[in-house]
Amino acid sequence: MKTIKGPAVFLAQFVDGVAPYNSLDGLCKWAADLGYKGIQIPTWESFLIDLDKASESQTYCDDLKGKINSYGLEITELSTHLQGQLVAVNPAYDVMFDGFAPEHLRGNPKARTEWAIDTVKKAGTASRRLGLTSHPTFSGTLLWHTMYPWPQRPQGLVEMGFKELADRWMPILNHFDENGVDVCYEIHPGEDIHDGITFERFLEATGNHKRVNMLYDPSHYVLQQLDYLTFIDHYHSFIKSFHVKDAEFNATGKQGVYGGYSDWINRAGRFRSLGDGQVDFAGIFSKLTQYGCDVWAVMEWECCMKSPEQGAREGAPFIQKHIIEATQKTFDDFAGGNTDEDLLKGILGLK
């Protein structure tokens, strides 16, 4: 067993144009004062990290890490969720996802994809320079618009889609392998990798590439009514990153899993601040500890009701309360001792 590290916080949802949320120093002090021990850095926020410099300069990475450490914090991971999304974009989503790309690439899907692949690779190099071993991202989507099979999908479409997705990611996966870093795909509705079955399809399409791993976030399993505890039993060896995010699902006579056109506050499935939803975090932390998952517990805030300030204040103690200090002994050690074969035979009636 292994003790989960934390608490940590994903900075993406807290970035703002006002202090302390508009500078790395401000966010570090804010996080440390709230009791967090780590930060997950969104690499698309250039004021938090210059990914070009981080991939080229060990000195830059040492200075960045030193600054963050000076606040009593560690970098848990770098995130390329937005850039990873752009590795694979179905044309149906071109306009909406163009906003994630630099302005000069918008309207040019081919160049945008090439930029995304190159940028995620840079994050792999930067992760190595920073001493990190896991990297969370999104897979992108070529097939999501066919997820509910109407009209019926043509034979072979799913296989072709996952082959193409794997082909786009293989150069990235190989680069991450050279740098000793795992790629952790967030299992997330809207992505082609959105549950266990699709993860297995992608893993198979990559030839079981050893750098294909997972970011585990139970909130996305609640919203699609997936058994998030048994999921850990199946896939614990792939879980190398962990978002601690709460959610609830309350189906009505009018909407269920597909009720996504309503505002978040009115949906059957919605994200909540830690402790306000339905996720069994005691069960999750127990299973991840039992299986020895070497992960940071990183809070991600996306509540439709509670303010981010309150969510952040409550998040650190909530996570700390759930972290289990893995025992190095068993409660019945007192009954142990050296093996005595004669005693054993006597107990079994073999003498």
Six-digit token string for 33: 């004062």
Separation between Cα atoms, residue 78 and residue 298, nearest integer Å:
12
Per-residue pLDDT at 138: 98
Per-residue pLDDT at 46: 97
Q: Which domain holds residue 332?
A: 5-347
Per-residue model confidence as pLDDT tens digits over 203-227: 999 999 999 999 999 999 999 999 9
Count other Cβ atoms within 10 Å, centred on residue 30: 21
- Domain containing 61 — which CATH number? 3.20.20.150
Domain total in the chain: 1
Banded pLDDT at 334 (limits 50, 70, 90): low
Q: Measuring CA to CA, how many Å separate 100 from each of 42, 97, 144? A: 13, 6, 18
Per-residue pLDDT at 351: 75
State how beta strands 269-272 and 246-249 pair.
antiparallel
Separation between Cα atoms, residue 223 and residue 230, nearest integer Å:
16
Per-residue model confidence as pLDDT tens digits over 251-296: 999 999 999 999 999 999 999 999 999 999 999 999 999 999 999 9
Assessment of whether the complete model's pTM goes beyond 0.85: yes
Separation between Cα atoms, residue 67 and residue 71, nearest integer Å:
7
Per-residue pLDDT at 262: 95
- The answer to whether the bond into 151 is cis (omega within 30° of 0) is yes
Find the Cα–Cα–Cα–Cα dihedral 121, 160, 222, 136, rounded to 10°: -10
